[in-house]
Amino acid sequence: MSQHDRTHHAKIATGKGDPQCFIGTAGPAKFKVGDRVRIKNLPDIFYTRCQVYSRGAVGEVAVVTHESPAPEDEAWGHVDHSEWFYIVRFKQKDLWPEYPDDFPNDTLQTEFSERWLESV
C-alpha cells in the first residue's frame, strides 16, 4: 500500500486556489515581459507539458503568470520547489516554416516554467 498522502494538494489549495497556494515560493523571476527567449530542448523522459513544436524556437515573454512547481516535478508529487511561469509569444512563421507568408502577423502563445527558457 502506498503511504503517499493523496489529499495533500487539496489541503494546501483549499481556500487559496492553485497556483495561489504557491505565491512567494519561487524567489525573483529571471525574465520580464518583452524579453527574448529560446525554448530549451531538455530531456522529458517521464512527463512534461512543454510541447515539442516549441523546442528551439525563439519568442518573446508576453506575460509573467504565476509561481508553481513545474509539471515535470508536480506529476510525481514533488511540490517543494517552485518556478516562475511565462506565457511566451511566437511568430507562427518561427514555429512552422511552412506557415503561409500571406499571414505574417499571426502569432501563437503558450506557457513555460522558467527551466525551459534561456535568454537570447
Interface ranges with other proteins (CB under 8 A): 6-7, 10, 13-20, 49-51, 53, 63, 65-66, 68, 71, 85, 87, 89, 92, 95-96, 99, 102-103, 105-113
| Nearest to other proteins of 38, 93 (CB atom) | 93
Written as nine digits, the cell of 54 is 516549441
| Nearest to other proteins of 3, 7 (CB atom) | 7
Q: Would you say 29 and 84 are in contact if contact means Cβ atoms under 8 Å apart?
A: yes
* Residue 75 Cβ vs other proteins, minimum distance, rounded to whole Å: 12
CA terminus-to-terminus distance, the chain:
48
Written as nine digits, the cell of 19 is 497556483
> Which residues are CB-contacts of 114 (< 8 A; sequence separation ≥ 6)?
26, 29, 30, 31, 83, 84, 85, 86
| Nearest to other proteins of 30, 49 (CB atom) | 49
* Residue 86 Cβ vs other proteins, minimum distance, rounded to whole Å: 10
Q: Which helix (H) or strand (E) holds 89?
A: strand 83-91
| Nearest to other proteins of 15, 43 (CB atom) | 15
Q: Would you say 37 and 56 are in contact if contact means Cβ atoms under 8 Å apart?
A: no
* Residue 119 Cβ vs other proteins, minimum distance, rounded to whole Å: 21
* Residue 118 Cβ vs other proteins, minimum distance, rounded to whole Å: 18
